[in-house]
A and B are shown apart, each in its own frame.
Chain A
Amino acid sequence: MPLTEQTKQDWSPRIVAFFCNWCTYTASDLAGVSRLRYAPSTRVIRVMCSGRIDPEFVIEAFTQGADGVLIGGCHPGDCHYSEGNYKCLRRYHLLQRVIAQMGIDQRRLRLEWISASEGKRLQEVVNEMTETLRQLGPSTIREVVQTVIK
């Protein structure tokens, strides 16, 4: 659906957030319990470890209409499965290069290490990313993928 001026005004960014169960997901719980206010832009998907996040999940999220994808995992050295977050970091670096070549602004994909106690950090990251996406405007990826141009 083409965005009219009206829908553009109503639009607010949608972030698909893949959070690791042990750290960032717990941090988002803590932020909730501590009544920290942050932008209602995230749709959180809990994964057991950031190492579980397949690059295909990220691409799928973009093709389904996400304006941004946020990955949250445990700090280096703190991964519950010892090295999952390093795996995630290596994929993330390569994926950043690939999405740039695909014409996707790299600011639409973000990785942050947020521990279970850092509810405040989670609030900041989500707010910051929401603001960045607001400036970038709505993602057109889904529309492009669904509209074959002959």
Chain B
Amino acid sequence: MAQDKPKLKLAVYWGAACGGCCVSVLDVHEKLLDILAHADLVFWPIALDIKYKDVEEMPDGSIDITLFNGAVRNSENEHMAHVLRQKSKILIAYGSCAYLGGIPGLANFSTREELLRRVYEESESLDNPQKIHPQPSTEVSEGHLHIPSFYNDVLTLGQVVDVDYYIPGCPPQSERLVEVFMDIVSGKDLPPKGSVIGASIRVQCDECKRKKSDKKGITRFYRPWEVTDDGETCLNEQGILCMGPATRAGCGVRCVEGNAPCRGCYGPLDGIGDAGARILSAIASMLDGKEPEEISRATDSIVDPAGTFYRFSLPGSKLRRKVS
């Protein structure tokens, strides 16, 4: 294939992530060939053996686009966030964890001490009578050993470095990535810095095909296994908690399409400072009841409301973490 334009240099990196975002990049399937026709992958730990040192030696600004997935929860994540910011023209927070903290961000309901104690002292499958905790630096006969230090607070990428764009999703829908990439390649005007891209400006309910009525009148919620979904009525109206009313569309309502409620991974719409508070408000306004007892019966039927409403956004929320 003849190339007039030099190929773009592309990097994909993971911080505190599960690997799903990297897999979503692979999930573009044969479209990856289209991407590779326009771009060279210069760094991608899941697929290529390129060392941190090699990246550190790249000239500043020499990577055109970096997709950084994962939150920042240790010194290695933070170091690589700074390195990749410096080396990249466009740094994209890719996926819910980089964008708002995501699932690893739920650790902000605990402190570092609580987490380490649970994992290294209390876990049922543990054999650690001396209660040894990992240390950032250890002496062994061969010399010093270092591992990254573990932070008390999980941070979003944007809380650590300057981010150009955010692509939401846990993981982002692969088609959206191809669209964004092709826009960049074809030289389309890019949206203003700081924008959420690869997603809609509407909420999930606007795209959801389920039957919905104006008055929800919910008297209590159920766990999904406690009721049988009729397959066609709005899940919230059936008492199955769905985050659709306050979640940005763009995924194709893929969970509801698969008969599971939306968990809110695409995050809030523009201008919403606190995703969890917005979901709380949306859910509360669907409740029935005027007497305090009726209302608390409905609200008490939601197991773990904070963890549910802030499932993907705790570090990026106003409170950031449990405060005491």
Interface residue ranges, A against B (CB under 8 Å): 54-56, 58-60, 62-63, 76, 86-87, 89-91, 93-95, 97-98, 101-104, 140-141, 144-145, 148-150
Would B320 and A145 count as touching, CB distance under 8 A? yes
Known: A55-B277, A102-B306, A150-B151. A144 touches B290 (CB 8 A): no
Would A141 and B323 count as touching, CB distance under 8 A? yes
A59–B306 CA distance with the chains assembled, in angstroms: 13
Stretch binding the partner chain, chosen from B139-147, B169-177, B279-287: B279-287
Which of chain A's residues have a CB closer than 8 A to the CB of B321? 144
Would B318 and A90 count as touching, CB distance under 8 A? no
The number of chain B residues with a CB under 8 A from chain A is 44
Which of chain B's residues have a CB closer than 8 A to the CB of A103? 322-324
- CB closest chain-B residue, reference A91: B284
Q: Mark out the residues of chain B between 127 and 161 whose CB falls within 8 Å of any chain A CB in the assembled complex.
A: 149, 151-153, 155, 159
What's the nearest-Cβ distance from chain A to residue B75, in Å?
A: 7
Known: A86-B290, A90-B285, A150-B151. A102 touches B280 (CB 8 A): no
A102–B307 CA distance with the chains assembled, in angstroms: 10
Known: A56-B318, A102-B323. A94 touches B305 (CB 8 A): yes
Would B307 and A101 count as touching, CB distance under 8 A? yes
Stretch binding the partner chain, chosen from B63-71, B202-210, B296-304: B296-304
What's the nearest-Cβ distance from chain B to residue A14, in Å?
A: 17
Which of chain A's residues have a CB closer than 8 A to the CB of B300? 97
Cβ 8 A contact of B284, one of A58, A62, A94, A145: A94
Would B281 and A91 count as touching, CB distance under 8 A? yes
Interface residue ranges, B against A (CB under 8 Å): 75, 78, 109, 112, 149, 151-153, 155, 159, 272-274, 276-278, 280-281, 283-285, 287, 289-290, 292, 295-296, 298-300, 302, 304-307, 309, 317-324
- CB closest chain-B residue, reference A144: B323
- The total number of A-B Cβ pairs within 8 Å is 108
What's the nearest-Cβ distance from chain B to residue A85, in Å?
A: 9
Which of chain A's residues have a CB closer than 8 A to the CB of B299? 90, 93-94, 97
Cβ 8 A contact of B324, one of A54, A86, A87, A140: A140
A59–B323 CA distance with the chains assembled, in angstroms: 12
Which of chain A's residues have a CB closer than 8 A to the CB of B283? 94
Which of chain A's residues have a CB closer than 8 A to the CB of B318? 56, 59-60, 63, 145
A104–B319 CA distance with the chains assembled, in angstroms: 10
Would B324 and A59 count as touching, CB distance under 8 A? no
Which of chain B's residues have a CB closer than 8 A to the CB of A150? 75, 78, 149, 151-153
A150–B155 CA distance with the chains assembled, in angstroms: 9
Which of chain A's residues have a CB closer than 8 A to the CB of B292? 89, 93
Which of chain B's residues have a CB closer than 8 A to the CB of A86? 290
A76–B152 CA distance with the chains assembled, in angstroms: 44
- CB closest chain-B residue, reference A149: B152
